Amino acid sequence: SAAEKGGYPSFMLKEIADQPKAVADTLLGRIGGEEGELRLDEVRIAPSVLREVDKVVVIACGTAFHAGMIAKYAIEHWTRLPCETELASEFRYRDPILDQRTLVIAISQSGETMDTLMALRHAREQGAKVLAICNTNGSTIPRESDAVLYTHAGPEVAVASTKAFLTQLVACYLVALYLGQVRGTKWADEIRTVVRQLSEVAGSVQRVLETMEPVRELARSLADQDTVLFLGRHVGYPVALEGALKLKELAYMHAEGFAAGELKHGPIALIEDGLPVVVVVPSPQGRSVLHDKMVSNIQEIRARGARTIVIAEEGDETVVPYADHLILIPATPTLLQPLVATVPLQVFACELATARGNEVDQPRNLAKSVTVE
Ligand code: G6P
pLDDT at 284: 87
Give the pLDDT score at 192.
84
Does the annotation mark 72 as catalytic?
Answer: no
Query: Residue whose CA is closest, atom 2 of ligand 1?
Result: 368
Nearest atom within ligand 1 for CA of residue 164? 16
Closest by CA to 354, choosing from 1, 3, 8, 6, is 8
**pLDDT at residue 372, rounded to an integer:** 87
The set of residues, in sequence order, having a beta carbon less than 8 Å from that of 16 and lying 6+ positions away, is 162, 163, 209, 343, 346, 347, 350
Measured in Å, residue 64 CA sits from the centre of ligand 1 at: 7
Does any ligand 1 atom lie closer than 6 A to the CB of residue 225? no
Ligand 1 contacts CB of residue 61 (under 6 A): yes
| pTM of model > 0.95 | yes
pLDDT value at residue 41: 86
* 276 within ligand 1 shell (Cβ under 6 A): no
* Ligand 1 atom nearest to 113, measured from its CA: 15
Closest C-alpha residue for ligand 1 atom 4 = 62
CA of 109 to the centre of ligand 1 (A): 7
Residue 280 Cβ inside 6 Å of ligand 1? The answer reads no
Per-residue pLDDT, 2? 75
Ligand 1 proximity of 159 Cβ (cutoff 6 Å): yes
pLDDT by position in tens, the chain (length 373): 677 898 999 999 999 999 999 999 999 999 876 666 788 989 999 999 999 999 999 999 999 999 999 999 999 999 999 999 999 999 999 999 999 999 999 999 999 999 999 999 999 999 999 999 999 999 999 999 999 999 999 999 999 999 999 999 999 999 999 999 999 876 778 888 898 999 999 999 999 999 999 999 999 999 999 999 999 999 999 999 999 999 999 999 999 999 999 999 999 999 999 999 999 999 887 657 899 999 999 999 999 999 999 999 999 999 999 999 999 999 999 999 999 999 999 999 999 999 999 999 999 999 999 988 8
106 CA distance to ligand 1 middle (Å): 12
The DSSP string of 130-181 is EEEEESSTT-HHHHTSSEEEE-------SSS-SHHHHHHHHHHHHHHHHHHH
Asked whether 167 lines ligand 1 (CB < 6 A), one says no
What pairs with residue 131 in β-bridges?
Answer: 105, 147
